[in-house]
Chain A
Amino acid sequence: MKILNIIEAAYRGTIEEQDDTILWLTTIMKGAGGDFTVLVRGNAINHCVTSQDCSGLSFGGWEQMQPPRLANDTANLIDKGVAIHYVAEDAAERGLHPGDMVPGIKPISRHAVAQLCNAHDQVWHW
């Protein structure tokens, strides 16, 4: 079963979870033997920007030691063999260029999203 995970929401509880919860879920399920492709669209494309830095948060005496490193997580998922695509028009509309983003993620046109859906048995839009 080939599953397409579509990630759209950006920075949804990422500080508290210390992860993007859908990248995390995909990582765990990939490790359990799942066959996944990821499509990042909308604002979630910003998770692939290499210059992100949310380190240094503290609350009273509590300091966050493991801030989310979303670009690293994206790269790690690619290293594990998961193809990660992003919608090129969504990136361009947000002022993002390929050089701003994690190497190895693959742009597709908005029009090609349908083709990507057709190529998978299940399409899960988170």
Chain B
Amino acid sequence: MLEVEGLRTEIATEAGPLWAVDGVSFSLAAGEVMGLVGESGCGKSMTALSLMRLLPANARVTGAAVRLAGTDLLALPEAAMRALRGDRIAMIFQDPMAALNPVFTVGEQIAETLRHHRGLDSRTAWQQAERLLDRVGIAEADRRARSYPHEFSGGMRQRVMIAIAISCGPDLLIADEPTTALDVTVEQQILALLDELRRDSGTAILLITHNLALAGQHCDRIAVMYAGQIVEQGPADSLLAAPLHPYSQGLLAAMPRGPISEGRIAPIAGLPPVLFGPRQGCSFAPRCPHRFAPCETNPPGLVESGPGRTARCFLLEAGAR
């Protein structure tokens, strides 16, 4: 379905080109949910925007192949890419409060996409919009379609965003921290809805989140990102059960579990690096409790370890664990 090979995205800054995404590769099958996990600024959102080709003006993709069902997205002319957006690839954003246009009714915003991509007339598009609202679990869809975004709660708005995103039955749905702005109970409802959608329609979902536990519950596979690279990738269960990369281990140790009195949260000391150009050694080395000589000089490559699992660490390469 989706194949990404060696995606690199540079942001032009006054200090020179910043490598926001550096050689990200992964693939996603139809109906599969992959979690892209990492802390703020690790390049998760830049990866998503690179796939959509919606990067800000000062950023550009410098080398990669992104194939959606065989089509190289990065080689497409802009008009063809525009035809794909919203139709074959859709995206849900972090803040449902800001992602809906305040001056249009929600029904109108769903119908617009249908008119645009499916060429439906206004009536049919509107009826379809009502059906979609019903589909994402909004009661009294025919009445609510005529409401404006400010008349909805955050969770309802995210449902509307999902209705817009799935209106054309996309092959790939990119959900960029879809529940960060919502409270925990609503978060579970929204993720359950996404789960249901991919089971029904076979849409592949790229779930971007900073919450490793959440990714564990809702994803088939998890890719952990650090400093613009995927440092570890594997099936959700086995990755969470036994993380290979020290960074994944650190993330897991930093997660609150059980009653607070039972254990302490162990933070990862230090801050992620900002990359200007090729890296010297492992990016995580300054914060890594297990670093040894090779970490300082060469960037580690991806090492396969176990079924479907890869990680970027010299510990694995040396078999020193």
Q: Do A and B come from one complex?
A: no
A: residues with CB less than 8 A from B are: none
B: residues with CB less than 8 A from A are: none
